[in-house]
Structure 1
Amino acid sequence: MLTVAHELAEITRLVEDDDFGTTLDRFVSRIADTVPGCDHAILTVRSDGAVETVAGAAGLDFDPIAPGPVVEAVTFGEPRRLDDVATDQRWPAFAAQVGNAGFRTCVALPLSIKGEDSAVLTLFSHKPDQFADTAYDVVLLLTLHAGVVFDNATLYHDSSQMVVQLRTALRTRSLVGRAQGMLMRHFEYSTDDAFATLKRASQNSNTKLRDLAAALVSAHEKGEFDTALQKLALTAAGEKAPD
């Protein structure tokens, strides 16, 4: 348990403030490297009714958000565990996909985050019955409902900071995604063009990416989206902020 906490605490020291993509990738990578029996980990978010795996999906030979434990966990906020794809047939199609990809077991663990969005960390193993004990420890660590297990106050603080940063990263991911969608609809941008526009506007206005995205989302909700676009020199379809 303490080994896992020490490893996760390092994330806080290694990630830049706005690099939420790296934060999430590093988070799931460190989990996979540290949790006993874990061969792969993913992070899945539910925002505005849409479910998306935001980290760890690269290289998987199946769709992690097919109907199954991951979607149920992120929808209902409850842990789900598939002990052995060969014997547990509650989600037969999902189990078949996971088994064909070489995994035998998985556990989906809801994370405690603020707001209406929800997030789930899912661990996979090539061996069956790997997470019966580990799952409980990881839930305690990541949701911070049992901070008393940490004897070292500094370690607890670092772990708490890691979770705060993860929450910030997830919130940033959601805001940026919503702002991207608004630009895509308004200007008929591609996903890449919309993100590049946000990054450029962030740099030109000397505003953090998450703050800029939050301002656009807020302006849209207030009916002031066009005004906000004008302030960023985005006034016509295809027109981008000046370099």
Structure 2
Amino acid sequence: MTETSTTAADRWRPLSELLHALLERVTGELPGCLGAALTARHGERPLQVLAATGVAEKLLPAELACGGPVAVAAGTAEPVTTDDVFADERWPAFSEDAAFASVRGAVALPGLWDDSGAFVLSAMFDRAPGAGTLAVLRRYEKLTEMTLVVAETATAGDPDQTLDLLASRAAIEQAKGVVVAVRRCSPDEAWQTLRRTSQEFNVKVRELAVALVEHVGGRSAGTPEILPGAPAHHAAERLWSAFTAK
């Protein structure tokens, strides 16, 4: 990893942390909330996961692949609420997974951040969403919009670059969480571990991050902009073997 890319990653860390802090606040205000997420797109590009907490970290990529409340909200520009996300006839391809047996209800609130940019704030629950759930999400809608606008300004007004960089940060933060959990180290130590591994195997940190999450979770975690190749998957496998070796 070059010094330039390292500097860019560090520059985007505060924005990534702000998005995660926003979602943590959302989760804390909603009874029974198991996780929240922010997805966004620009123009005709597909939705990207920019930040996720709790069960949404693993469930949302599967939902985007099969359809679900977030995809419907993005397509219709209307809020979506469901009492049982896996039994809802609006997205028949989204079937229940044993890993997400605790998830029942979901809410997705769409918003705009420029003429061609859209985002969706969503939350997942262990029960039917409460009557005030949409009101809580709407209180955070403007803050989310402002955060994305600030991010766009920081990339000289290029919204596509904004989403790519934030998606990269989201992937790295998720991989850092994996390293923290298995090594019981600090987030900074986890970041250094990913950097060293990317340098050793000559792969991009963001591709290593996605490959590691996919290797541990056993499912695709990539986006159209972050598709790890064979070298990144090999690096992730070697890294995980080093973590789990007795």
- In the TM superposition, residue 62 of structure 1 has moved relative to its aligned partner by 6.0
Letter in 1 for 2:91: W
Letter in 2 for 1:104: R
**Deviations 1:215-237 (CA, angstroms, capped at 9, x unpaired):** xxxxxxxxxxxxxxxxxxxxxxx
RMSD of equivalent CA atoms: 3.7
**Deviations 1:85-135 (CA, angstroms, capped at 9, x unpaired):** 4653322332524984420010111124223111001110011x223x123
Counterpart of 1:115 in structure 2 is 115
Counterpart of 1:50 in structure 2 is 46
Counterpart of 1:165 in structure 2 is 147
**Deviations 1:183-202 (CA, angstroms, capped at 9, x unpaired):** xxxxxx965489xxxxxxxx
Counterpart of 1:23 in structure 2 is 18
- Change in 2 beyond 3 A, CA 1:99/1:73: farther
Structure 2: distance between partners of 1:70 and 1:98: 21
Structure 1: distance between partners of 2:113 and 2:60: 29
**Deviations 1:35-59 (CA, angstroms, capped at 9, x unpaired):** 2332210111122421111111534
Structure 1: distance between partners of 2:84 and 2:99: 9
Superposition map of 1:61-80 within 5 A: 63-65=62-64, 66-80=66-80
Judge conservation of contact 1:112–1:142 (CA < 8 Å) in 2: no
Judge conservation of contact 1:62–1:98 (CA < 8 Å) in 2: no
Q: Does 1:142 align with 2:117?
A: no
**Deviations 1:16-69 (CA, angstroms, capped at 9, x unpaired):** 986221121221122112223322101111224211111115344861313122
- In the TM superposition, residue 77 of structure 1 has moved relative to its aligned partner by 1.5
Structure 2: distance between partners of 1:139 and 1:23: 16
Computing the radius of gyration from Cα coordinates, the structure with the larger value is: 1
Counterpart of 1:91 in structure 2 is 91
Tell me the TM-score normalised to structure 1 length: 0.51
Structure 1: distance between partners of 2:36 and 2:102: 14
Counterpart of 1:41 in structure 2 is 36
Judge conservation of contact 2:27–2:34 (CA < 8 Å) in 1: yes
- In the TM superposition, residue 166 of structure 1 has moved relative to its aligned partner by 4.7
User: 5+ residue gaps in structure 2?
Assistant: 1-10, 167-201, 208-246
How many residue pairs end up in the alignment? 154
Identity in percent: 25
Structure 1: distance between partners of 2:92 and 2:36: 21
Structure 2: distance between partners of 1:177 and 1:93: 27
Tell me the TM-score normalised to structure 2 length: 0.50
- Change in 2 beyond 3 A, CA 1:82/1:190: farther
Q: Does 1:124 align with 2:124?
A: yes
Structure 1: distance between partners of 2:33 and 2:85: 16
User: 5+ residue gaps in structure 1?
Assistant: 1-15, 145-159, 181-188, 195-243
Q: Secondary structure at the match of 2:107?
A: strand
**Deviations 1:167-208 (CA, angstroms, capped at 9, x unpaired):** 42477674245589xxxxxxxx965489xxxxxxxxxxxxxx
Judge conservation of contact 2:37–2:123 (CA < 8 Å) in 1: yes
